Amino acid sequence: MIIRNLLGVLLLGVLTFGPVKAQDAKADIKKVAANFVKGADVQNAELLKTVIEENSLQYVLIGGKFNTFSAEQYITMVKEKQLGGKPRKITYKHAEFLSENLAVVVLNAVSSEYDFLYQLSMAKSDSGKWEIVGITTEINGV
C-alpha cells in the first residue's frame, strides 16, 4: 500500500512537471526568436550575434523574388543601420520541437510599414544554447 501510494505520488510529479519543463523549453526558443526580432528593431548587432549561428543563411522573399544573406551580411547591414530601426509587434504562429536538439518557430513581426513572416530553424549547440541556423522570411506591405 505504501509503495502504491509512493508510485502514485511519483507519477503525479512526472505528469505535473513534464508539461512545465516543455513550457520552459518553448519559452527558451521563443526568447531566441524575440531577441532576433528585437536585435533588428533596435539595430543591435551584438544581440543578433548571440542568437544567429555565424554560418547561417537568411532567405528573404519580397515581391516574388528571393534575396539571400549570410549571417555576417545581415548583421553588418543592421549594424550600419541599413536595416531595422522600427519597432515591430510579434505574434507567434507556431513553436515546435522537431527533436531534443532541433526546433522551429514561425512568427509575424509587424511594423507600421511591413509585415514580416519568419520561419526560424533552430538547433541546440554543444553548450546547450539555442541558435538560429536558418531563416526564411516573407516581407509584405501593411
Strand partners, 57: 70, 134
Strand 130-141 versus strand 114-124 pairing type: antiparallel
Residue 102 above 70 pLDDT? yes
pLDDT at 24: 75
Residue 8 above 90 pLDDT? no
pLDDT tens digits for range 112-125:
999 999 999 999 99
pTM assigned to the model: 0.83
The mean pLDDT value of the chain amounts to 89
- Could you tell me which residues come within 8 angstroms of residue 110 by beta carbon, excluding any fewer than 6 positions away? 88, 89, 91, 116, 142
pLDDT tens digits for range 12-59:
555 555 555 656 779 999 999 999 999 999 999 999 999 999 999 999
The CATH classification number of 2-141 equals: 3.10.450.50
The percent of residues above 70 in pLDDT, for the chain, comes to 84
